[in-house]
Amino acid sequence: MRGLKGKRAIVTGGARGIGRAAVERLLEEGARVAVIDQDADACRGLQTALPEILTICADVADKDQLEQAFTEIAEILSGLDVLFNNAGISAPSPFLELSVTQWRRTMAVDLDGVFLCAQAAARRMAQGVIINMGSVSGLLGMPRYADYNAAKAGVIELTRTLALELAPAVRVVCISPGYVLTPMQEAEYTADRMAALNARIPLQRHADPAEIAALVAFLASDEAPFITGSNLVIDGGESAGGTASL
């Protein structure tokens, strides 16, 4: 990928799952990578496995923690070129049982966190790229995920507005994966559940986190200089028919 060598990148939620795959891919491409993640144990494990990265334990929903983290990272890396705004949470709940506490926490991490990190990053970028993590859940209705779906729809719209305000110096792009097989899901799925979900996806499988990481690396690189304000769906065709998954 052209233009990633030496780029200074932050990946939020980079200690595991899709974020971790993106960290590994960006490192392979020669970028200098810092991770912000709230899971202290996972951060320690990541730091041991990849000593060349910088890891900071912080909550993306906490403005003060983030301000400190972005200041420290930008100082150590002498600037910032790429933000992968990836940290997110989700938990299923029927709408009539969805608590205000859960609604607010999902919004705080999945939408406020994206806003806070994008602002902290853009203020420190002379030129750069912000890649926000959306989801097909932000495009389609999906029962039992009202909070998550609403937050991800917000991320997609926030991306468009930021792309307009931050151009031409900073490109802002959203990616919207469908089902991605991260270790957490793998542990939760029964074989039957996995087969039922795969049957709804035209490509008949979940994505591997590395496939999402490849899109992130492309968007962050000089191979994608004319892409901004877009929402790129990467879902094996799941949303092509316009129907909701379960």
Q: Which residues are part of the catalytic machinery?
A: 148
Q: Which is nearer to ligand NAD, 48 or 78 (CB)?
A: 48
Q: How far is the CB of 135 from ligand NAD (least distance, A)?
A: 4
Instruction: Based on the shown chain and the rule CB under 6 A, indicate whether residue 208 belongs to the binding site for ligand NAD.
Output: no
Q: Which of 60, 80, 118, 163 is close enough to bind ligand NAD by CB under 6 A?
A: 60
Burial class of 107 by CB neighbour count within 10 A (0 to 12, 13 to 18, 19+): middle
Instruction: Based on the shown chain and the rule CB under 6 A, indicate whether residue 86 belongs to the binding site for ligand NAD.
Output: yes
Instruction: Based on the shown chain and the rule CB under 6 A, indicate whether residue 38 belongs to the binding site for ligand NAD.
Output: yes
Q: Which of 184, 195, 203, 210 is close enough to bind ligand NAD by CB under 6 A?
A: 184
Cα 227 → chain centroid? 17
Q: Which of 74, 77, 87, 118 is close enough to bind ligand NAD by CB under 6 A?
A: 87
Instruction: Based on the shown chain and the rule CB under 6 A, indicate whether residue 46 belongs to the binding site for ligand NAD.
Output: no
Q: In terms of DSSP H, where are the helices of the chain?
A: 17-28, 40-49, 63-77, 100-107, 113-122, 146-166, 183-188, 191-199, 209-220
Q: How far apart are CA 186 and CA 166, in angstroms?
A: 38
Handedness of CA 66, 72, 75, 80 (dihedral sign): negative
Instruction: Based on the shown chain and the rule CB under 6 A, indicate whether residue 13 belongs to the binding site for ligand NAD.
Output: yes
Instruction: Based on the shown chain and the rule CB under 6 A, indicate whether residue 231 belongs to the binding site for ligand NAD.
Output: no
Q: How far is the CB of 23 from ligand NAD (least distance, A)?
A: 10
Binding to ligand NAD (CB under 6 A): which residues in 107-166? 109, 113, 133, 135
- The token pair at 198 is 């795969």
Q: Which of 1, 4, 18, 118 is close enough to bind ligand NAD by CB under 6 A?
A: 18
Provide DSSP, 97-127.
G--HHHHHHHHIIIIIHHHHHHHHHHTT-SS
Cα 151 → chain centroid? 13
The region of 93-101, 157-165, 175-183, 237-245 touching ligand NAD under the rule CB under 6 A is 175-183
Question: How are strands ordered across the β-sheet holding 54-57?
Answer: 54-57, 32-37, 8-12, 82-85, 128-133, 170-177, 231-234
The region of 81-89, 92-100, 161-169, 196-204 touching ligand NAD under the rule CB under 6 A is 81-89
Instruction: Based on the shown chain and the rule CB under 6 A, indicate whether residue 182 belongs to the binding site for ligand NAD.
Output: yes
- The token pair at 237 is 């065709």
Q: How far apart are CA 38 and CA 14, in angstroms?
A: 10
Residues found near ligand NAD in the complex (CB under 6 A): 12-13, 15-19, 37-39, 42, 59-61, 86-90, 109, 113, 133, 135, 177, 179-180, 182, 184
